[in-house]
Chains A and B, each alone.
Chain A
Amino acid sequence: MQERQKYRMLMWITIVLLLIVAMISLFIGRYTLSFPEIMTEVLHDNGRRCLSAGFSVICNLRLPRIIAVMMVGAGLSVAGVTYQAVLRNALASPDVLGTSSAAAFGAALGILLGFPLQLSAFSSFFFGIVSLLCVMGLCHFKKNNGELTTILSGIIVASVFMSFVSIIKYVADPQDELPAIVFWLMGSFASLVKEQVYGLIPLYIVCYLVIYKLRWKINVLSLGNDEAKIAGMNPQLLNAVLLITASILVAASVTIAGVVGWVGLVIPHLVRTLVGYNHSKLIPASAVCGALFLLVIDNIARTLTYAEIPIGILTALVGAPLFAVLFIMSNRYDRSE
């Protein structure tokens, strides 16, 4: 009972914090806005919609960006939790199955071929899904769906797509295309398309709900395929559904923001220290904490210096030391190893 109260309190605190940070994020940035001014403007507009540039910055740039950051943060964290449970490996992260590398290749290809932004985004998402099919194909030929087979297949696919990215960088125009590709690979929310962000909201919600509704089965599945089978589940089908759903979340996140590392690895570990390992609590808490973490990092990325810092650099800078602290603090009396 005490644990449930602790969990509820943590959820309330993080949700309130997330809302406060989101509100603050609307008003910070290079274009200075004041909250009372904007509120006065909205309240006295009487539906005439002839609002100022400041209001336009909020509606067309900052609000879509905040929504995108929260979606990506929550999506990568939930995908990380899912990969770790299904692959029964606490070191599994959203790029373990090569989805990130393949989506990065898709976007780099789009930039190289001069695709418009929407088409590059589609190419990124498409190759993210292709990588997953490659991993499943390898597992099928190996006739083994064990977690080690899946991880090794993911490493193979990720390496192939990373070498494709290197080829693209090698042949890209060093004046124009190469900087664009490199900047994109470091991750950034700077060049968002509002419609694309709003269009991906239902996809994120559906994927999150699928994973959340399967939370109890994820618990059983994390104990092993035999345990799941005895409990009346079909572990192969469940593994496939969960890996596909998590990979869609990763592909959609790479499509929006490029490669944003560490979130899917660090946040689940951090949240486990707060709410425990039960996925009924871990999945929602990771979603909220992931969104909060990336929102704070994104605010730092766009306000720390005059030019925006690629978010991938900051997530690695913050994520790696945080992971080291969690690693050192992890239970020394754990007998699982």
Chain B
Amino acid sequence: MIEVNNLTFAFKKSKTAFNNISFSIDEGEVLCVLGPNGVGKTTLLKTVTGLYQPVSGSCHIGRVGNRKARMAYVPQAKRVHFSYNVLDFISFGCPLRGGMLASPGARDIEKAGQILSELGASYLATKDVNQISGGELQMCYIAKALVSEPDILVLDEPESNLDFNNQSLIINWLHTLSREKNVTIILNTHFINHANNIADKCLLMGKDSYCFGTTQSVLQESLLADYFHVPVKRCHFEHNGIQKESFIVAL
């Protein structure tokens, strides 16, 4: 679905954000991008979505049937300049059909409410987008992306402002999207456990190097410790009779 070959991006000639990165993901797979701050994770996502033009290399996006794949991007949640109503804000993500002067139809706007209730956040519908908490705003950004029925969903740290319950809700929701609706997902995250739970593939980025492969091959204690410069330990425990796996980071 997405094939990236030797992709390089630089803000100025001397300031390279990332260098010669290659990876590929198939339809319905989840790719998690991990790495310390400042290694170009967000820039990579913006280059893949087409917001930034790469200096060299290519990013090929596949087709879904006869049409171009629809892509939606969830940025790191930031406050909005105008205090839109939450339902209006989500409906701004509706796909526009019919040229330059088109507007979404009533059915599209109805769908915005439906997505919000599927995310368990219909209580937000009539609130101002600037009067809700950071976590709730993040949910709205995700709902806005989902309303466009994307084939590829690119998310930049979607769980960063959320409490544990909402983190779990979002991660499970993304898992369901990829498995049941065949949506291809690229997720930039700082949570190794989230990557371990839902990713099919992982891209671990460092200052001058990167590591790409299946989740099992990338999420190794030694590799993570090398890239993050902190000790990382994989541990297993049982919860309600189910065997669980978790990474512990010693700070």
Contacts and interface: CB of A to CB of B under 8 A. Distances in A.
B81 A278 contact: no
B93 interface: yes
B83 A216 contact: no
A150 to B, nearest CB: 14
Interface in B64-102: 71-73, 75, 79-85, 88, 92-93, 96, 100-102
Interface string A28-63: 000000000000000000000000000000000000
B85 A3 contact: yes
Residue picked from B49, B71, B80, B131, most chain A C-beta under 10 Å: B80
B84 A231 contact: no
A220 B145 CA distance: 12
Interface residues of B, number: 29
B85 A276 contact: yes
Contacts of A232: 96
Contacts of A90: 81-82
Interface string A222-241: 11001101111000000000
A143 interface: no
A276 B88 contact: yes
B81 A335 contact: no
Contacts of B126: 3
B101 A85 contact: no
B82 A85 contact: yes
B172 interface: no
Contacts of A278: 84-85, 88
How large, as a class, is the contact surface on chain A?
A: 20 to 34
Given A230-B72, A277-B83, A219 B131 contact: no
A223 B80 contact: yes
Given A331-B131, A334-B130, A335-B130, A277 B82 contact: yes
Interface string B114-135: 0000000000001010110000
Contacts of B79: 335-337
Nearest to B75: A226
Interface string B42-72: 0000100111000000000000000000011
Contacts of A223: 80-81, 92
B103 interface: yes
B104 interface: yes
A216 B49 contact: no
B130 A216 contact: no
Given A89-B81, A226-B51, A230-B73, 14 more contacts: A3-B85, A3-B126, A222-B81, A222-B82, A227-B92, A229-B51, A230-B49, A230-B72, A276-B85, A277-B82, A277-B88, A280-B103, A334-B128, A337-B79
In the A-B complex, the 3 residue pairs with the closest CB atoms? A216-B103, A336-B130, A213-B101
27 contacts: A3-B126, A89-B81, A214-B101, A216-B92, A216-B96, A216-B102, A219-B88, A219-B92, A223-B80, A223-B81, A223-B92, A226-B75, A227-B75, A230-B51, A231-B148, A276-B88, A277-B83, A277-B88, A278-B88, A331-B83, A331-B128, A331-B130, A333-B131, A334-B83, A335-B79, A336-B80, A336-B130
